[in-house]
Structures are given as C-alpha cells and as structure tokens.
Structure 1
C-alpha cells in the first residue's frame, strides 16, 4: 500500500515544492493537497502516513493548530512548515509533538532530508540550542475546549460573548476559565493571554508575568 501524505498549505506554489520533496522521499506516495486546516482534517479521516502542516492558513494561526492535530491524531507524524526562522519556534514545535520543522527558506535537498528522516521514524529540526519551556507544557495540558476559550479570551471577548460563540452557558465558561487559570498558574485574563502568546510564530513570545 503506497504511503499517503497530506500537504496542508494555502500557497499552491509551495504545495508544489513540497510535493517534489515528498516524491523524493516517498517515490510512490499518494499525495493529497489541502489549502486549509479543515480540508486537512477531512483528508485525515482516511489513512495517512504523514501530515505536512503550514502554521499560517486562513483557519489556523500559530502552534495551536499543531496542538489540535496532535490531540486528535496522536500517532500521526506531523511536519511543521513555516516562514519562521526563530529557534524558540523550532523548539516549541518539537516540545508540542512535531516530528520535524521545515523553514520555508529551506532548499529542496533540506526538505527531502527532513522528510526522509521522518519516513525512517526519526526527527529533523534546524540546529538550535533552546531549553524546553515549562509554560508550553502548561498550555499543552489544556483540553481542546479550554484552548478554544483561551483563544477567545485573547481576543478580548467577555464571558457572555464566549458562551454565545461556543453555544455553551456562561457558568460553563466560568468553570473553564477557573480551570485554565489553575493549569496555567495565573490569576488574570491578561496573564493567561500573555502566556498563550508563546503559541504565536510571528512575534516574540511574552514572558510570563509574575502573579
């Protein structure tokens, strides 16, 4: 049975480039292209051997997308594709369960090397000496429902607005926020939002504020 590889990127030309790299690593692979996280998720309802995931698409921004796919497909190798060249982003992707990180500036040969490593059960990341981040472990401990609420808190929504958007009661929102604060070790929405900024890939992560 040929390998089935999902390429999720909203730029057609870059999907083509990734397709060439996939063909070099998996010569007989069945490649499926997706221009959104939703389309990739739909494709993953069938068998897949690897997901190549762009961190910036219309319906996904930052490392939250990696966390969502990792949660729902725990055994699936996920290769992150990103324009970011920050060492902290490479390290964060590794800590959150990615198998590889391919910067969009990488050559076709580097892309192939990364995919061959993943194909063979290894990992591949650009050289970077960065320690594991305890705050990311806290964020990773949140449930998908709690992460959805945290995202809306970052957008400045009030409890009643979050309840309306997610079709849940305000009491449920409050209970989730209490759990979020406890897991993240913070005491305010501002502190929670600043900590969750570490999932962003296009700006420096904020330091966790002191309580």
Structure 2
C-alpha cells in the first residue's frame, strides 16, 4: 500500500492535530479526515466508506451516549478497522468494544508507539520506523514549556477527568497531580483547570486550521 486514508474522530482538536503529525512523521503519504462529533463522523463514513482504511475513535464525543456510537459503526461499517483511543479506560468499556470487533481499545495515556504499532498492523504491511519511536514521548509537543508528565495531565484535564481520576490513570498520587496542575496553570497563564482546558482547545484549533 502506497497511501492510506485514516479518519481521526475526537472532540479535542489538539489531539487530532498532534496525532496527524505523529502519523505523518512515519507515513507522510497518509490522507486524513477528521470529525469532532458523531454527526460529522457518520457523514464521513457514509460519503467516503469505500476509500477509508482505518478509524481512530474517541468514544466520548457529542452526538451519542455510551456505546451507541461504536455499536452503530461496527454494525454498519463492519469491514472498517477501528481503534478506540479513550481518556476513560474502564474495563467494561474495553470489553464491550473488543466484543464488537474493534482492533483494540487503548488509553490516551499509553505511549505513542502503542497506537502507531496498531496502525501499522492494521493498515500497512511493514513496521517501518516504528521501533525508532521514543516510548516516553509526551502526548504532544505543542506546549514545549510543559514537561511530558504535565502534558499528559493537561490532556486528561481537558478530557474532564478529576484529579483523582487523573492520578489513577497515571498511577501517581493526587498530590502529584495537584503539583503538575499548578505548574500547568503558571506556564499557560491561567488560574484554573477550566481556563487551561479552554486554552488547550483554542490552541489546538488554531494549529489544526493552519
């Protein structure tokens, strides 16, 4: 395969932009489509089904409740490989998605190389350059003033997770999350997590549209 058509569906523009950049570093010929809600995604699937090679899906997007979105997609587009990438990695959701036939269900906090290897296995015939990827690379380098750990906290914060939930996802203490949050607020010039999430999304929108 010399090219591939990948859809990234996520309601955070920064995640879409960052993921496109990571994929293009390895497979620059990839063609992308993106959706920030299920209505947009369903239109893309309906209009471009024959040309699509992979869907990278965040479950928690506007337009569907719970598992309705992934259930609809796996029923009506059964031949399309789907990788679920979620900020809410619970056992029941994972098992449900796998039972529906998705390629895999991974957390947004996992190393980039995990998703990139799944993309390679699902779409491409080789593992070109996969092993050269830094396992500890941060979620995004669009905020270079933040450490890798702080960037991971910011991504989960923008996903709406509480400090307790973030601590559980990252396997750290709530105190550590609070320390990271304070540093994030200072670096971004904001006063609270809501403002940080807004700045995250605005920054991602600007870069995604550039």
Aligned-partner SS, 1:117: helix
* TM-score where L is the length of structure 2: 0.52
Aligned-partner SS, 1:13: helix
Aligned-partner SS, 2:88: coil
Distance 1:99 1:21 in 2: 20
State the partner residue of 2:63.
59
Following TM superposition, where does structure 1 have runs of at least 4 consecutive aligned residues deviating by more than 6 angstroms? none
| Higher fraction of helix | 2
- Asked if structure 1 preserves the Cα contact closer than 8 Å seen for 2:4 and 2:123, the reply is no
Structure 2 residue runs without a partner (length 5+): 126-210
Q: Cα 1:120–1:2, aligned 2, differ >3 Å: closer, same or farther?
A: closer
Distance 1:87 1:25 in 2: 31
Distance 2:100 2:17 in 1: 27
For the aligned residue pairs, the C-alpha RMSD in angstroms reads: 1.9
- Asked if structure 1 preserves the Cα contact closer than 8 Å seen for 2:7 and 2:34, the reply is yes
State the partner residue of 1:3.
4
Correspondence for 1:115 among 114, 119, 123: 119
State the partner residue of 1:197.
none
TM-superposed deviation, 1:102: 2.4
Structure 1 residue runs without a partner (length 5+): 122-211
State the partner residue of 2:41.
40
Distance 2:66 2:21 in 1: 25
- Asked if structure 1 preserves the Cα contact closer than 8 Å seen for 2:89 and 2:106, the reply is no
State the partner residue of 1:76.
80
1:88-103 map, 5 Å: 88-103=92-107
State the partner residue of 1:28.
29
Distance 2:5 2:64 in 1: 22
Between Structure 1 and Structure 2, whose CA radius of gyration is higher? 1
Mean Cα displacement is larger for which, 56-65 or 67-76?
56-65
- Asked if structure 1 preserves the Cα contact closer than 8 Å seen for 2:82 and 2:103, the reply is yes
Counting matched residue pairs gives 121
Aligned-partner SS, 1:52: strand
Aligned-partner SS, 2:94: helix
